[in-house]
Amino acid sequence: MRALLDTSVLVPVSEPDQAPPDLRDIDEVLVSTLSFAELAIGVHSAASVAVLRHRLDRLAVLRDLFGQGLPFDEDCVRAYERLLAHVADNGGDVKARRFDRLIAACALAQDATLVTRNADHVANLSPLVTVEVR
């Protein structure tokens, strides 16, 4: 299976006190640069220097583990437009869950399964994106 890991799955990968997700059946693991950007929000919103340093270290570990990440390119933009059209057609709020939907668009553009811990954040996208909870 080819899978794109959501940000919610990346956090436990780098935290020793959290159970990491089982990724053994994934043949190709992908990470979007958007997940690194989402984690950067957490870094820069830290309440203390100690938390900031911890989060910077965690982000460095993830970048070392997964590399640069997939860019949000033109194929992702087109996939995002498809997702937003689906949301609008089904009465959803197109402004909600922006990062979740941008990352889901990357999975759609890459023809990859989206692996997440927050299925409810992308539940309305399942006709277009295959979602697995881990």
- The reported pLDDT for the residue numbered 115 is 97
- The reported pLDDT for the residue numbered 128 is 97
Q: Where are the alpha helices (DSSP H) in the chain?
A: 7-14, 33-44, 49-66, 74-89, 98-109
- The reported pLDDT for the residue numbered 14 is 80
pLDDT at residue 38 tops 90? yes
The pLDDT confidence band at residue 16, using thresholds 50, 70 and 90, is confident
Provide the whole-model pTM: 0.92
**pLDDT tens digits along 50-97:** 999 999 999 999 999 999 999 999 999 999 999 999 999 999 999 999
Domains of the chain, earliest start first: 2-133 (3.40.50.1010)
How far from the centroid of its chain's Cα atoms is residue 4's Cα?
A: 7
The pLDDT confidence band at residue 20, using thresholds 50, 70 and 90, is confident
Those residues whose C-beta lies under 8 Å from the C-beta of residue 108, and which sit 6 or more positions away, are: 79, 82, 83, 128, 129
